[in-house]
């Protein structure tokens, strides 16, 4: 009986191909919009997560200045006290659960080789930096401890720097000018591409901290301390330990707030990801409203269909159809119609998301759950919006219906 | 050789409208039809023939009085029970054929069987048999638009008899047909009445059509004006 009815409804949909298609358009657009939104959204979330994990996973970054919060970073009442070598030394000596601890001071500086120049991010750091950031060398070697200590003019460069100055050539052993000093390239960093914030992670030059402080910054401050947690220690556990040690070396009395901040990159990644997810959900909901419009389209066309087929309903009732037979027939028809629209919509939505993922270089991440939901939802819309017209058909008086022209 | 009473009207009234516009389509009709009878119903336009036929076919219910069908008080059944009664015992033939458009003859004939829950293959077999009985072999896959009026009415008759009903209700079945087609259809109905023992109640305006029936009931202003055995066909 149900199969018979489904077959019947497909026949009646086929009889009116153009009208059926126009009716479906609302559902098609609605479902396509929802599917495209959610698929692009989850691709973006994945991309953001991947980007942030490029910044380093299980990484804490310590900075001077009060933590960001209500009132903003660093109050007016507070003179920002920079991080110093003794803070780093205390962490290295007392912190357990860290795989690598490394200082980093950064500045955008003009780098020159021959007649070429490039503004690049110069980082003064030590040999633990590569480990802390999980960066690798393609060729060459990291700084030696003695180079770090004495502040020798050596440096590691990123792929962008190499391309600017040497093309595909080998940069090792070349001398570049950084600001008013010069350094010898001893290694090439592995390419990392752009961050989600559009920052070129390969336009970098690393040099020993002492050299940076002396020749570029002109002070002995440390901007950041990177702390990578080891496998057994979650960053949430490491963070309070770091805080304790720093409060201690920086002699902060219990009645005073921290004058430094510790950022947990994992938490930032999660927060960013959940922000994109919320955004996606909201866009999806807006797109969902168009599904409602599609539903009203279905209701409209089913009312037309019931009116057009009043005589047919009369014949069926005269022949002995129960009210529920008529009701089911039109409900199935509305559901099949809307389901068809849903399936077409899903295909179009996925195609759009596929094109977008290529254009935006985000992963194509279709979710089976979302697709199933869209199928279920479009069937539901057919049933809900088809019900009233179907009931109207089922309640017709057979004599009146037979007399209908 | 009429059998026991199949249909009986006991002071049946059918009233439409309110107050000034009130119309008594049937005004206290008493009548009985026995199983196996072939009855023609005649009368001027507006005399209540179709109204009576709708009640006989359990499509409608009286405003007052009692209508019994096979001893069942059909006038007081709800619409779904009457639908079941129609499906089990009544076949309809209309003046305008009333076939489903764009649906083949075979599918049209199968329709009442679908509502009976008959399996597909069985349905097909019965439909073919019914189409053969009305002389339409080879036209199974034609849609109504591809059939002549006479052929369409044959399909309608096949649809009416495919369930082997007790009663056939025919409201002006030949009203849209030419003389030759009219006689073919009447011969078919007469044969079905004779061979299957099908009780037939048929409305007509033409005396020579009524002549095929054994009995003629004349309506006038919602009353039965006369009820006589038919004259033999000339
Ligand atoms: N649904 C209705 N509402 C109001 N009046 C109706 C309705 N159906 C029938 N009538 C009235 O009842 C009376 C009998 O109608 P009916 O259709 O039974 O006549 P009939 O004998 O079949 O006529 P005809 O030969 O023209 O078909 C008429 O006066 C008609 O106007
Ligand atoms: Mg009439």
pLDDT at position B234, please? 38
Do A179 and A231 lie in one domain? The reply is yes
Could you say which architecture CATH assigns to the domain B35-50+82-233?
A: 3-Layer(aba) Sandwich (3.40)
Ligand 1 pocket test: which of B15, B27, B50, B56 has the largest number of ligand atoms within 8 Å of its C-beta? B50
Do A104 and A234 lie in one domain? The reply is yes
pLDDT at position B233, please? 45
The domain boundary, picked from A234, A249, A264, lies at: A249
Give the integer Cα–Cα distance in Å for A132 and A143.
14
Nearest-neighbour CA in chain B from A386: distance (Å): 22
**B220: Cβ–Cβ under 8 A, 6 or more apart, which residues?**
B43, B44, B47
Whether residue A343 lies inside any domain: the answer is yes
User: Which two three-digit tokens encode residue B40?
Assistant: 């023609």
Edge to edge, what strands does the sheet with B223-229 contain? Answer: B90-94, B167-171, B199-203, B38-42, B215-220, B223-229
Q: To the nearest whole number, what is the mean pLDDT of chain A?
A: 86
* CB within 8 Å of chain B, chain A residues 11-30: 15
Place of tokens 């009415």: B153
Nearest to B193 by CA among B139, B234, B157, B221: B157
Do A199 and A325 lie in one domain? The reply is no
Residues of the domain holding A225: 82-249
Do A370 and A223 lie in one domain? The reply is no
A contacts of B87 (beta carbons < 8 Å): 319-321
Do A44 and A95 lie in one domain? The reply is no
Tell me, yes or no, if A393 comes closer than 8 A to chain B by beta carbon: no
Whether residue A266 lies inside any domain: the answer is no
Do A177 and A297 lie in one domain? The reply is no
DSSP string covering chain B: ---SEEEEEEEEEEEESSGGG-EEEEEEEEEEEETT-EEEEE--TTSSHHHHHHHHTTSS--SEEEEEETTB-GGGS-HHHHHHHHHHHEEEEETT--PPTTS-HHHHHHHHHHHHT--HHHHHHHHHHHHHHTT-TT-TT--GGGS-HHHHHHHHHHHHHTT--SEEEEESTTTTS-HHHHHHHHHHHHHHHHHH--EEEEE-S-HHHHTTSSEEEEEETTEEEEEEEPPPP-
Do A89 and A238 lie in one domain? The reply is yes
Do A95 and A221 lie in one domain? The reply is yes
Q: Would you place residue A370 in the very low, low, confident or very high pLDDT band (cuts 50, 70, 90)? A: confident
Whether residue A63 lies inside any domain: the answer is no
Q: What is the pLDDT of residues A155-189, one digit of tens each?
A: 999 999 999 899 888 889 999 999 888 899 999 99
Residue B184, Cβ density class (10 Å: 0-12 exposed, 13-18 middle, ≥19 buried): middle
Nearest-neighbour CA in chain A from B84: distance (Å): 6
Whether residue A37 lies inside any domain: the answer is yes
pLDDT at position B79, please? 92
Q: What is the pLDDT of residues A116-138, one digit of tens each?
A: 889 999 999 998 999 888 888 99
- Whether A313 has a pLDDT exceeding 70, the answer reads yes
pLDDT at position B11, please? 96
B contacts of A319 (beta carbons < 8 Å): 86-87, 92, 111-112, 115, 159
Hey, where are the domains in chain B? 35-50+82-233
Instruction: Kindly list the protein residues that place their beta carbon closer than 5 angstroms to ligand 2, a single-atom ion.
Output: B 50
Residues in contact with ligand 1 by the CB-under-6-Å rule are: B 16-17, 23, 25, 43, 45-51
Counting the structural domains of chain A, the total is: 2
Do A279 and A391 lie in one domain? The reply is yes
The minimal CB distance from B112 to the residues A314, A319, A398 is found for A319
With CB atoms and an 8 Å threshold, state whether B98 touches A4: no
User: Which two three-digit tokens encode residue A195?
Assistant: 């961050």
Q: Would you place residue A212 in the very low, low, confident or very high pLDDT band (cuts 50, 70, 90)? A: very high
Mean predicted confidence (pLDDT) in A96-119? 91
Do A44 and A175 lie in one domain? The reply is no
pLDDT at position A74, please? 46
The domain boundary, picked from A216, A234, A249, lies at: A249
Whether residue A179 lies inside any domain: the answer is yes
The domain boundary, picked from A214, A249, A284, lies at: A249
Whether residue A61 lies inside any domain: the answer is no
Whether residue A73 lies inside any domain: the answer is no
- Whether A28 has a pLDDT exceeding 50, the answer reads yes
pLDDT at position A72, please? 47
B contacts of A399 (beta carbons < 8 Å): 54, 59-60
Give the integer Cα–Cα distance in Å for A252 and A262.
15
With CB atoms and an 8 Å threshold, state whether B80 touches A318: no
The residue of A318, A324, A403, A405 whose CB has the most chain B CBs within 10 angstroms, and thus the best one to mutate to test that interface, is A318
Whether residue A264 lies inside any domain: the answer is no
A contacts of B116 (beta carbons < 8 Å): 320
Closest residue of chain A to B61, computed from CA coordinates: A399
The residue of B115, B144, B152, B170 whose CB has the most chain A CBs within 10 angstroms, and thus the best one to mutate to test that interface, is B115
Do A208 and A356 lie in one domain? The reply is no
Give the integer Cα–Cα distance in Å for A141 and A185.
10
**Sites in chain B below the pLDDT cut of 50:** 233-234
- Whether A16 has a pLDDT exceeding 50, the answer reads yes
């Amino acid at each position: 009986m149900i199969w018979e009815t489904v077959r019947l409804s497909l026949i009646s949909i086929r009889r009116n191909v153009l009208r059926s298609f126009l009716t479906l358009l609302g559902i098609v657009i609605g479902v396509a919009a929802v599917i495209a939104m959610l698929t692009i959204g989850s691709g973006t979330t994945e991309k953001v997560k991947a980007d942030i994990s490029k910044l380093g996973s299980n990484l804490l970054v310590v900075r001077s200045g009060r933590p960001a919060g209500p009132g903003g970073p660093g109050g007016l009442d507070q003179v920002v006290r920079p991080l110093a070598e003794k803070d780093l030394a205390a962490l290295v000596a007392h912190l357990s659960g860290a795989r690598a601890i490394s200082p980093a001071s950064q500045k955008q500086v003009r780098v020159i080789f021959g007649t070429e120049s490039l503004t690049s991010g110069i980082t003064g750091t030590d040999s633990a930096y590569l480990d802390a950031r999980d960066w690798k060398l393609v060729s060459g070697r990291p700084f030696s401890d003695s180079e770090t200590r004495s502040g020798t003019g050596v440096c590691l460069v990123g792929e962008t720097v190499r391309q600017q100055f040497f093309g595909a050539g080998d940069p090792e052993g070349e001398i570049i000018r950084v600001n008013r000093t010069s350094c010898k390239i001893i290694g090439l960093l592995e390419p990392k591409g752009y961050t989600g914030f559009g920052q070129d992670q390969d336009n970098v030059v690393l040099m020993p901290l002492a050299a940076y402080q002396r020749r570029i910054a002109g002070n002995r401050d440390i901007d950041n301390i990177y702390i990578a947690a080891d496998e057994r220690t979650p960053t949430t556990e490491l963070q309070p330990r770091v805080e304790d040690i720093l409060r201690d070396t920086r002699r902060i009395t219990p009645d005073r707030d921290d004058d430094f901040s510790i950022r947990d990159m994992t938490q930032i990644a999660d927060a960013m990801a959940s922000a994109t997810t919320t955004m996606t959900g909201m866009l999806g909901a807006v797109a969902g409203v168009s599904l409602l419009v599609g539903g009203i389209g279905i209701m409209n066309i089913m009312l037309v269909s019931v009116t057009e087929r009043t005589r047919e309903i009369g014949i069926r009732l005269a022949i002995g159809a129960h009210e529920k037979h008529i009701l089911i027939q039109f409900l199935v028809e509305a559901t099949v119609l809307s389901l068809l629209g849903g399936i077409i919509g899903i295909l179009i939505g996925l195609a759009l998301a596929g094109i977008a993922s290529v254009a935006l270089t985000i992963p194509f991440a279709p979710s089976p759950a979302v697709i199933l939901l869209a199928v279920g939802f479009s069937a539901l819309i057919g049933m809900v919006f088809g019900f009233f017209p179907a009931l109207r058909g089922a309640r017709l008086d057979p004599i009146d219906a037979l007399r209908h022209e | 050789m009429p059998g026991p009473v199949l249909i009986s009207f006991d002071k049946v009234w059918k009233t439409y409208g309110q107050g000034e516009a009130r119309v008594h389509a049937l005004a206290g009709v008493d009548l009985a039809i026995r199983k196996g009878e072939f009855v023609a119903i005649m009368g001027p336009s507006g005399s209540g023939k179709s109204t009576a036929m709708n009640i006989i076919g359990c499509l409608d219910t009286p405003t007052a009085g009692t209508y019994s069908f096979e001893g069942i008080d059909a006038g007081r059944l709800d619409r779904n029970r009457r639908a079941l009664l129609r499906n089990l015992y009544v076949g309809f033939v209309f003046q305008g054929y009333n076939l489903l458009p764009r649906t083949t003859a075979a599918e049209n004939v199968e329709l009442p069987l679908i509502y009976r829950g008959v399996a597909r293959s069985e349905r097909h077999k019965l439909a073919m048999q019914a189409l053969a009985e009305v002389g339409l072999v080879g036209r199974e896959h034609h849609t109504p638009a591809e059939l002549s009026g006479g052929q369409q009415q044959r399909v309608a008759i096949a649809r009416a008899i495919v369930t082997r009903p007790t009663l056939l209700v025919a409201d002006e079945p030949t009203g849209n047909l030419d003389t030759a087609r009219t006689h073919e259809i009447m011969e078919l109905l007469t044969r079905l009445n004779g061979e299957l023992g099908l009780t037939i109640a048929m409305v007509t305006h033409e005396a020579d059509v009524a002549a095929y029936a054994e009995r003629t009931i004349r309506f006038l202003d919602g009353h039965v004006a006369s009820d006589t055995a038919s004259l033999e066909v000339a």
